[in-house]
Amino acid sequence: MCGIVGIVSTQYVNQALYDALTVLQHRGQDAAGIVTFQDDRFYLRKDNGLVRDVFRTSHMRRLVGNVGIGHVRYPTAGSSSSAEAQPFYVNSPYGITLAHNGNLTNADDLSRDLFRTDLRHINTNSDSEVLLNVFAHELQKLGKLDPSKDEIFAAVRAVHQRCRGAYAVIAMITGYGIVGFRDPNGIRPACYGVRETAEGKEYMIASESVALSAAGFKLVRDIAPGEAVYIETDGTLYTQQCAEAPSLNPCIFEHVYFARPDSIMDQVSVYKARLRMGETLADKVLRERPDHDIDVVVPIPDTSRTSALQMAHRLGVKFREGFIKNRYIGRTFIMPGQKMRKKSVRQKLNPIDLEFRGKNVMLVDDSIVRGTTCHEIIQMARDAGARKVYFASAAPPVRFPNVYGIDMPSPGELIAHDRTVEEIQTLIGADWLVYQDLEDLISCVNDVNPDIEGWECSVFNGKYITGDVDDAYLARLDAQRRDEAREAAQAGLPEDNGIIDLHNDED
């Protein structure tokens, strides 16, 4: 999962892009990048690390121009080398940079085609670079010195015909503007907004609406599945549907875990959806154990807090903050390597003994993926004196890998894969384990926007909406995503293995 942003403004965009990326930091902690445009030249800064660490004052001064795009990276299969930090760049045609959120399921085939038929070289293992070169090649085929909006939309249409999987994209074309588009299934989110100034209208495209509101932009709407939004450098905006059979099927895990609660995605409030998750969880508890003995509901900070609060209210029991979070430790789900995740849990959370001692505690988390984190947290609750420790997941059991841009581990690393709820309960050490039902989860997010035709729920039900994911594909993905393979790849690669960034100084 990654965060993307693009701005066409009447003033320098470097600070606005930086601020937007900090708001989107939850979507990726591995790397960050910004590229701006002025006087027929791109100005680029990207590197591994958090936004605040990648950009120094000297870098910001060099990022001149009124047009720019930015990216925060969350690595999926492959290395976390800074060579794969985005945005990516190609010089032909025109000069194009691109930031991408998602994952192409046919990236390997496309990479071979780009070399054999399009005569283009791919310099990294990133499918985002593949997507950039597909877009660039389709623009180049048109052979126009000055591409019109119709020709840019035609290139996006060709991208949809060649690329499969999930993608939300922002590309900047030298001297012309930025174009944002979304895959025909609308799996990954993207929206755009406007800001009125004395000099004219300014536009922003971003992964989440919260990036717009934080920068003073008014949300216009989500980009529709298959649609492209083209904004010229003078602020003129055009939109066009570029897919033959678009269908809105957004990723439901955005609402469970990734998105900020103050975001609106496809007209659905993430906060309201999570409130409903707590209500339906409470209803399930009351169905299964109407005479429950829960004394207190405690959230696992931070994404489960909203659901836990509503669950406690519905059950009529106390809600307490039983864990204090160290906000300087990254999200363990995103961290590569099982040892690093396990070690970071106790560094990240510290229990307040007063809220556990002698009580039957219901812990609430947004989901259970590997089970490492919740096992450690349950033990921490017992060490703090809890009499019984129950555990509730606001999401159903995660039984299948994700192929659309979320680095869900291989099936063997998913604690719910081929296991019953009772077996999982034993493994994590809970006295009782409650999962959200998939039907209830869908109902929590499904009754606001009637245009949503379905939800991408593959991690829960194993149904891959693009129709091109078979056992052979999953086997290849499994090999790529095993922690041991990832750690070996990281250890064997140099820190940088691509083109040198001239603005990589640390002053």
Domains and CATH numbers, the chain: 3-247 (3.60.20.10), 274-325+342-449 (3.40.50.2020)
Tell me phi and psi for residue 78, to 5 degrees. 115, -175
* Per-residue model confidence as pLDDT tens digits over 244-285: 999 999 999 999 999 999 999 999 999 999 999 999 999 999
| Secondary structure (3-state) at 319 | strand
- What's the pLDDT score for residue 445? 93
- What's the pLDDT score for residue 496? 36
Q: What is the pTM of this model?
A: 0.90
Q: Are 67 and 172 spatial neighbours (Cβ–Cβ below 8 Å)?
A: yes
- What's the pLDDT score for residue 198? 92
336 pLDDT tier (thresholds 50, 70, 90): very low
What is the arithmetic mean of pLDDT over 219-226?
98
Q: Where are the alpha helices (DSSP H) in 165-297?
A: 209-214, 253, 270-288
Task: Give the active site residue among 2, 163, 251, 444.
Answer: 2
- What's the pLDDT score for residue 83? 76
- What's the pLDDT score for residue 343? 57
Residue 178 has pLDDT above 60, yes or no: yes
- What's the pLDDT score for residue 82? 66
What is the arithmetic mean of pLDDT over 392-414?
91
* Per-residue model confidence as pLDDT tens digits over 453-505: 999 999 999 999 999 999 888 888 888 766 555 555 555 543 333 332 333 33
- What's the pLDDT score for residue 482? 66
- What's the pLDDT score for residue 296? 98
Specify whether 2 is catalytic. Answer: yes
Q: Are 372 and 338 spatial neighbours (Cβ–Cβ below 8 Å)?
A: yes
The two three-digit tokens of residue 332, written as one number: 């363990």
Residue 207 and residue 223: Cα distance in Å, rounded?
A: 10
106 pLDDT tier (thresholds 50, 70, 90): very high
The two three-digit tokens of residue 170, written as one number: 């922002």
**DSSP for 83-100?**
GG-S-EEE-SSS-EEEEE
**Whole-number percent of the chain with pLDDT over 70:** 90
Range in 146-150, 229-233, 371-375 the model is least confident about: 371-375
Residue 414: name the closest of 434, 405, 423 by CA.
423
Which position has the token pair 């703090």?
A: 384
- What's the pLDDT score for residue 222? 97
Q: Any idea what DSSP says for residue 420?
A: -
* Per-residue model confidence as pLDDT tens digits over 362-383: 999 999 999 988 999 999 999 9
For residue 440, say whether it is annotated as part of any ligand binding site: no
* Per-residue model confidence as pLDDT tens digits over 53-102: 999 999 999 999 999 999 999 865 444 566 789 999 999 999 999 999 99
- What's the pLDDT score for residue 410? 83
For residue 303, say whether it is annotated as part of any ligand binding site: yes
Residue 287 has pLDDT above 60, yes or no: yes
* C-alpha triplet 385, 387, 390: angle, nearest 5°: 110
Question: 336: which residues sit within 8 A by CB, 6+ positions away?
Answer: 75, 80, 483, 486, 487, 490
Better-predicted residue by pLDDT, 339 or 363: 363
Better-predicted residue by pLDDT, 434 or 343: 434
| Secondary structure (3-state) at 360 | strand
Residue 506 has pLDDT above 50, yes or no: no
Residue 40: name the closest of 59, 67, 13 by CA.
67
Rounded to the nearest integer, the mean pLDDT of the chain is: 90
Q: Are 67 and 178 spatial neighbours (Cβ–Cβ below 8 Å)?
A: yes
What's the Cα-to-Cα distance from 333 to each of 74, 372, 400, rounded to whole Å? 11, 10, 16
For residue 124, say whether it is annotated as part of any ligand binding site: no
Pairing of strands 218-222, 31-38: unpaired
121 pLDDT tier (thresholds 50, 70, 90): confident
